[in-house]
Amino acid sequence: MGDTDAETGAGEDGRTAHVPVMLERIAELLRPALEEPGAVVVDGTLGLGGHAEALLRAHPGLRLVGIDRDTTALDRSRARLAPFADRVEFAHAEYDDLPGVLDGLGVPEAQAVLLDLGVSSPQLDEAGRGFAYSYDAPLDMRMDRTQGLTAEEVVNAYPAADLTRILRDYGEERFAGRIAQAIVRERAGAPITSTRRLADLVREAIPAATRRTGGNPAKRTFQALRIEVNGELSILERALPAAIDRLAVGGRIAVLSYHSLEDRMTKRALAARAKDTTPPDLPVPLPDRQPELRLLTRGGETPDEQESERNPRAASARLRAAERTRRR
């Protein structure tokens, strides 16, 4: 899980040549909530501000709270959203701290929350960030460069069993054990410090027949390390209930996921609040056990074929949304 817009073609001012992922559908899903007088939307993964800009343009009375852990992304979104400066608040924070950010601003509830969990284009495209296996760069992968843990530390310090677990669970890598053992052997001679060295090592550890299909064989390993370094799944697990709890009645949440682990967590979190939990042996539904949410999407919606062709990074996106129907 990343935490910013999966946009492409970013310029120095944060503007892009391509629209953010599923922009029109997200705007459509959030529109009824954002038309409320004095509406507040929280973009918990502000990134380059593409979704935020579109929502602010469409709703002249809207107030936006933009949260991001990446200071570079915040700087770029400030530039992009400068025309709306009087309606935007920025926060350098993890998005699971949404309640704390809103408390600090004196905002009791939000009419909408948007979470776009993709890695941003600056993170992928700037070689020095170490997210991409297509560049030779230091093994970093920190979304928040003020934090301590880096991918280099994970690769060189974690025991083989922990590396295997991370690659298997976060990367869904079939050859997790083989790759972990190869890493341990390699680092015994000298620390692994570059993305290219790690990518070559992963390629060599995977059977030749497998290397010929399915894209770059390092993709799953790099995803797994990124998730571990940034604590992405644990943050998402905390953020989803926190975001739902701060939604106003009639408020809406939209979540864009980019791999199955994120999508399953989102599906479970929304479905759990969309169920009547009255015990089945009772003859009438209990008022305090009625659903809090109404699901707005049937399963995880995907970009259309044209968008996926225009922006390949959108192809894996899954969108889920829900409306809050009552308080707990």
CA distances, 238 to each of 10, 17, 97, 254 (Å): 30, 33, 9, 16
Bridge partners, 43 (sequence order): 66, 114
Distance (Å, whole) CA 253 – CA 204: 43
Q: In what order do the strands lie in the sheet with 88-92?
A: 88-92, 63-68, 40-43, 110-116, 247-257, 318-324, 293-295
Distance (Å, whole) CA 114 – CA 303: 17
Distance (Å, whole) CA 63 – CA 107: 11
For the annotated binding site, the residues are: 49-51, 68, 95, 116, 123
Q: Which amino acid is at 319?
A: L
- C-alpha angle 327/266/160, rounded to 5°? 135
For the annotated binding site for S-adenosyl-L-methionine, the residues are: 49-51, 68, 95, 116, 123
Task: Yes or no: say if 242 and 110 are a contact pair by the CB < 8 Å rule.
Answer: no
The residue with tokens 């677990």 is: 165
The residue with tokens 């009087």 is: 86
3-state secondary structure of 186: helix
Distance (Å, whole) CA 222 – CA 293: 35
Q: Which amino acid is at 10?
A: A
